[in-house]
Amino acid sequence: MTPFGARLAAAVGERGPLCVGIDPHPALLASWGLTDDADGLARFTEACVAAFAGHIAVVKPQSAFFERHGSRGIAVLEELLSAFAGTPTLTILDVKRGDIGSTMDGYSDAYLGVGAPLGADAVTLSPYLGFGSLSSALDTAADAGRGAFVLARTSNPEGSEVQLAEFGGRSTAQAVVDGAAARNAAGIDSTGAPLGDIGVVVGATREHGLDLSTLNGPVLAPGLGAQGAGPGDIAAIFAGVRGLVLPAAARSVLAAGPAAVALRGAAESLRDELAAAV
């Protein structure tokens, strides 16, 4: 498969940088007139596929809102990922997995390997057992043409005590960025891809204080819309990025549902605002 970075660059070039979060939390299901169970979840995801597939570059399902419904919810998530897999729209599965040894290998098999049952184009990973603990996942992703977004500087206040802690003259968050940059440099050198496969997650609702100039990979930037960041904020906060930025919005788009045409219109309107600002 073509490397993830190359596919992402092409998708964004054709359909813009917006990443739409697919977050079927209970209040949203209720506002759509759906039941808070696997059946309501399935109807919700069908509308999202109809609205976004082939029209938006990237969608980001949040695994937790599927997992809360048990095995039937996971089955709906698997169907959702499969439905998008046959379209030009890429998927980032927001699972934030991170562990060591054989446990990390198990997560890699579930989400990143060739033929993975919950395979997405990319997943989110947590590096807080050390960036090196992610090696097997990143290797598995590369072998399958998939990517990963590693948590670096999140928007929640509690993250600061870990992410801004310094060791060896740099913050933990900067060490994560530098680790991703090193992986991307090696991958780009070997494949000639225009963009590395390893991205980082940096919240869009505050100044991040990171040097992203050598990343050569994508930045997933949650916080657009309902969380308070506007298109102009994205342009200002990420002005020095060498790579591409994927601003992510969920509630501000999904509030337009349940009609697929209204969902698509909300996403395309926000995408066009981003294009004008960035």
55 DSSP 8-state letter: T
pLDDT of residue 235: 77
pLDDT of residue 209: 84
Given a cut of 80, whether residue 230 has pLDDT beyond it is no
CA distances from 46 to 19, 75, 224 (A): 18, 13, 24
Given a cut of 70, whether residue 265 has pLDDT beyond it is yes
Just list the catalytic residues: 96
Local confidence band at 15 (pLDDT 50, 70, 90 cut-offs): very high
- Distance between CA atoms of residues 265 and 256, nearest Å: 8
- Distance between CA atoms of residues 115 and 58, nearest Å: 21
Q: What's the pLDDT tens digit per position in 233-244?
A: 787 888 767 679
Asked if 200 and 152 touch (Cβ cutoff 8 Å), the reply is: yes
pLDDT of residue 192: 64
pTM of the model as a whole = 0.95
Choice between 65 and 86, residue whose per-residue pLDDT is larger: 65
CATH code for residues 4-277: 3.20.20.70
CA distances from 34 to 28, 60, 190, 211, 259 (A): 9, 21, 48, 44, 13
pLDDT of residue 275: 84
Q: Quick one: how many helices (H) and strands (E) in the chain?
A: 12, 10
Domain ranges of the chain: 4-277
Residue type (1 letter), 206? R
Q: Structure tokens of 194?
A: 């225009």
Q: Structure tokens of 31?
A: 């506002």
